[in-house]
Amino acid sequence: MAGKTMIPLLAFAAWSGTGKTTLLKKLIPVLCARGIRPGLIKHTHHDMDVDKPGKDSYELRKAGAAQTIVASQQRWALMTETPRRRRAGSTFSRKSNGYLKAGFDSGRRV
List pLDDT tens digits, range 50-96.
778 888 888 888 888 888 888 888 888 888 777 665 555 555 555 66
Question: Which tops the pLDDT comparison, 29 or 89?
Answer: 29
pTM: 0.63
Q: Are 59 and 67 in contact (CB under 8 A)?
A: no
Least confident of 11-20, 38-47, 93-102: 93-102
Residue 75 CA neighbour count, 13 Å, CB half: 3
At residue 105 the predicted structure's pLDDT band, cuts being 50, 70 and 90, is: low
d(CA 18, CA 71): 34
- What architecture (CATH level 2) is domain 9-86+96-102? 3-Layer(aba) Sandwich (3.40)
d(CA 59, CA 51): 9
